Amino acid sequence: MKDKIETLLNEVEKFSATSAEQAEHFRLKYLSRKGEISILFDEFKTVPSEMKREVGQLLNKLKISAQEKLDSFKSLGEAAAETASANDLTLPAVSFTGGRHPLNIVRKEILGIFGRLGFTVADGPEIEDDWHNFSALNFPEEHPARDMQDTFFIDKEVALRTHTSSVQVRVLEKTQPPVRIVMPGRVYRNEAVSARAHCFFHQVEGLYVDKGVSFADMKQVLLYFSREMFGEKTEIRLRPSYFPFTEPSAEMDISCTICHGKGCAVCKHSGWVEILGCGMVDPAVLKNCRIDPDIYSGFAFGMGIERITMLKFGVNDLRLFSENDVRFLSQFKSAL
Ligand code: PHE
């Protein structure tokens, strides 16, 4: 029996546990009611009385060292309890330290505003073919936007999309009106990176095609958007412009959110800042998508999320959005 106790003593001393399960296994093996040590205590009754003192001391030593060992595993149990609670989805959430990217906050807000007007979200690929990015949108063969200066070509027919207008074509090809969608996404242009330009940025495109959609409808939707986004006192102004895929086309300015019309560096002392391009969908685009322009009409608009975010939060350098500097990012808080 002495030998048996000594072997166990040795085992107990050498034992180490790295998980709560191993600690429990140890407890069951040595210290439970049917464990090795209990069995030895039972056997102890049969030990001849002249040996009882010596064996008894040894047995006690074993029991104490097993108990001490088990106590030393306690922290494992606590850690295990913590992980168990971390995985318990029914517990209340602990607050987390991360936050949303400012572009993400603004993108969500834009989609939310148009969502309230019944626009649903549509999506398209960032690697796009010539047809969807240019030809179907009525870009003439020799249009400068197709030039290597502006477009990142993958091969002659395939490029990184230069605008989200390509998604209009993809949706219109597959859907008969009414179509009322917003299309957020990343776009690419071959430009030198500076405070005001980047080789990639984000846009939200909007499209509404149905019977009898007018320029006045577009103006009202864009006014609603501007006031929701920049405050109810915001004014808008539409200036004639040109895009191959809209006719007539316009650029839209909002009253300067920084100086409220008094004149500042952001609005270059004009009181107005441009935020988007828009217009009535050119009948040629509808035809390219097999939609009858004699029956249907529509409007489209496209805005840069960076631009809206810069105006909303007073950010003056486009590069900050892609540098991932936490000192910049942690200044933006969102509820969701
Ligand atoms: N695609 C245009 C751009 O990237 C914006 C635009 C979209 C203009 C829809 C009119 C209609 O500049």
Give tens-digit pLDDT for 12-67. 888 888 887 888 888 899 998 889 998 988 888 888 888 889 898 998 999 998 98
CB of 253 closer than 6 angstroms to any ligand 1 atom: no
Residue 203 in domain: yes
CB of 30 closer than 6 angstroms to any ligand 1 atom: no
Residue 253 in domain: yes
CB of 302 closer than 6 angstroms to any ligand 1 atom: yes
For atom 7 of ligand 1, which residue has the closest CA? 302
Judged against a pLDDT cut of 70, whether residue 186 lies above it is answered with: yes
**71: Cβ–Cβ under 8 A, 6 or more apart, which residues?**
none
For atom 10 of ligand 1, which residue has the closest CA? 278
Residue 264 in domain: yes
Q: Are 191 and 158 in the same domain? A: yes
For atom 5 of ligand 1, which residue has the closest CA? 302
Cis peptide before 144 (omega within 30 of 0): no
Q: Are 170 and 300 in the same domain? A: yes
Torsion angles phi and psi, residue 99, rounded to 5 = -150, 170
CB of 163 closer than 6 angstroms to any ligand 1 atom: yes
Q: Are 38 and 141 in the same domain? A: no
Judged against a pLDDT cut of 90, whether residue 89 lies above it is answered with: no
Torsion angles phi and psi, residue 29, rounded to 5 = -65, -40
User: Within 165-214, where are the H helices?
Assistant: 165-174
Residue 97 in domain: no
The pTM is what?
Answer: 0.72
Residue 93 in domain: no
Which whole number is the average pLDDT over 251-275? 90
> 55 C-alpha to center of ligand 1: Å?
92
Of 141, 142, 140, 161, the closest CA to residue 151 belongs to: 161
Judged against a pLDDT cut of 70, whether residue 79 lies above it is answered with: no
Q: Are 49 and 171 in the same domain? A: no
Judged against a pLDDT cut of 80, whether residue 97 lies above it is answered with: no
Q: Which domain holds residue 129?
A: 102-335
Mutate to test the pocket of ligand 1, among 183, 245, 299 (most ligand atoms within 8 A of CB): 245
Tokens (6 digits) for 43: 């056997």
User: Measured between alpha carbons, how far is 28 from 33 in angstroms, rounded to an integer?
Assistant: 8
Residue 139 in domain: yes
Q: What one-letter code names the amino acid at 280?
A: M
- Structurally, the chain folds into a number of domains equal to 2
Q: How far, CA to CA in Å, does 122 sit from each of 160, 175, 206?
A: 18, 12, 10
Q: Which atom from ligand 1 is nearest to the alpha carbon of 206? A: 9
Three state DSSP letters for 2-14 = HHHHHHHHHHHHH
Tokens (6 digits) for 26: 């140890």
Q: Are 219 and 134 in the same domain? A: yes
CB of 17 closer than 6 angstroms to any ligand 1 atom: no
Which whole number is the average pLDDT over 221-232? 97
CB of 70 closer than 6 angstroms to any ligand 1 atom: no
* Strands 120-121, 246-255: pairing kind: unpaired
User: Measured between alpha carbons, how far is 186 from 103 in angstroms, rounded to an integer?
Assistant: 11
> 106 C-alpha to center of ligand 1: Å?
19
CB of 243 closer than 6 angstroms to any ligand 1 atom: yes
CB of 151 closer than 6 angstroms to any ligand 1 atom: no
Q: Are 77 and 111 in the same domain? A: no
Residue 96 in domain: no
Give the length of the chain. 336
* CB distance 253 to 234 below 8 Å: no
Please give the order of strands across the beta sheet that includes 246-255: 120-121, 179-188, 200-210, 297-304, 272-281, 246-255, 236-243
For atom 9 of ligand 1, which residue has the closest CA? 301
pLDDT digits (tens, 9 = 90+) for 272-317: 999 999 999 999 999 999 999 999 999 999 999 999 999 999 999 9
Residue 243 in domain: yes
User: Within the chain, where are the H helices?
Assistant: 2-14, 20-26, 36-44, 49-72, 74-86, 102-116, 130-133, 165-174, 215-230, 283-288, 305-313, 320-323, 326-329
Q: Are 187 and 300 in the same domain? A: yes
Q: How many CA atoms lie within 13 A of 320 on its CB side?
A: 19
If pLDDT is split at 50, 70 and 90, which confidence band does 95 have? Answer: low
Neighbours of 209 (CB within 10 A): 26
Q: Are 172 and 263 in the same domain? A: yes
For atom 6 of ligand 1, which residue has the closest CA? 302
Torsion angles phi and psi, residue 304, rounded to 5 = -90, 125
